[in-house]
Structure 1
């Protein structure tokens, strides 16, 4: 293990040298990170499937766009609900606060239990995961920028622009990177 501090609640923003197509220009919210590995969801991979196709009760409860998101290449046959709620706010037992404003929602529960208690919910098919030391190695190799997450990142209504917006708000060199062409060979 390296000296990298726990990164729970941070964003991983893919750099152009990351060759895995699952993570091309991905923005990953790390929900858990520790000695045993890391777990998160890709925030900017909407898929053209309405939530009601798999979870009808949740269609009206999720943030726009009200579609499924591909949270990563692991466990694509399962769904995860991520909620955003004010830090310190009391949450129902159906939400497990992970870090800061972010929590996991029990998708077998009644969405009405969350009304007025969370500011947004998003449903992800699959997730992103790393074994012990794997993420730290990828960061050291320069595959990811690690930047602070904002609650709005997880519920953005414009997920296709998230990679550029997150880099731009960092300022300096990362703001310049946000202007790079999608095809890295053109930069």
Structure 2
């Protein structure tokens, strides 16, 4: 079996050709990627549901907008917390994924780690791929793989994240940010 190079902590940015409605114009933060498969959350799908409506204790730590995000089509009844912790070691109840980005154990009392969080997003569900499935999608050209930045987790205008992430890339990839939402209107 071929060894899989980990993409954990990187972003998957949907190519304009990706037509699956769950992932059209999606920006996915990969939380785990290895030979067993991949798991990530879609960073740019806010819902109208407020964090206070679901996890009231965590609401005061949620970034703007303080809503639950649809993390992907898998297990929509489960919640994941992703937060940025500036500086060195994270507090108990936070597990580093990449750099300052990590997962929050939502079972931990918020007062134990809330003050250490630079920003927090709550996701309902996640995006998941079985062994080799994501690699197949990458080969098919469904995704661009780019570096994440801590600010991606808490982008205050998530509806612009797809364009913003592409725009900061170099060369031709930056030009994709200008791709029209509906190319048939060109």
Report the secondary structure of 2:168's partner residue.
helix
In structure 1, the residue matched to 2:142 is: 143
Q: How many residues align?
A: 186
Match of 1:10 in 2: 10
Unaligned runs of 5+ in 1: none
Unaligned segments of structure 2, at least 5 residues: none
Q: Distance in 1 between matches of 2:114 and 2:30?
A: 25
Aligned residue in 2 for 1:167:
166
Partner SS for 1:20: coil
Question: Are the aligned partners of 2:92 and 2:113 in contact in 1 as well (CA < 8 Å)?
Answer: no
The 1-side partners of 2:115 and 2:109 are apart by 14
2:79 alignment partner in structure 1: 79
The alignment's TM-score, normalised by the length of structure 2, stands at: 0.94
Alpha-carbon distance between aligned partners in 2 of 1:18 and 1:68, rounded to the nearest angstrom: 24
Give 1:121's aligned residue: 120
Distance 2:119 2:142 in 1: 29
Relative distance call for 1:90 and 1:34 in structure 2 (3 A) is: same
Structure 1 segment 1-187 matched on structure 2, within 5 A: 5-86=5-86, 89-186=88-185
CA distance in 1 between counterparts of 2:172 and 2:184 reads 18
Deviations 1:147-184 (A, max 9, x none): 00000001111100000000000031111110011124
Partners of 1:115 and 1:47 in 2: CA distance? 23
Whole-angstrom distance in 2 between the partners of 1:46 and 1:186: 26
Classify 1:132/1:184 alpha carbon distance in 2 versus 1 (closer, same or farther; 3 Å): farther
Taking only aligned residues, the RMSD between alpha carbons, in angstroms, comes to 1.6
Residues 9-33 of structure 1 deviation map (CA, whole Å, 9 limit, x = unaligned): 1100001221210001000000110
Q: Deviations over 1:37-69 (max 9, x none)?
A: 111100000000100111011111111100000
Offset, 1:102 = 1.6
Q: Distance in 2 between matches of 1:164 and 1:80?
A: 25
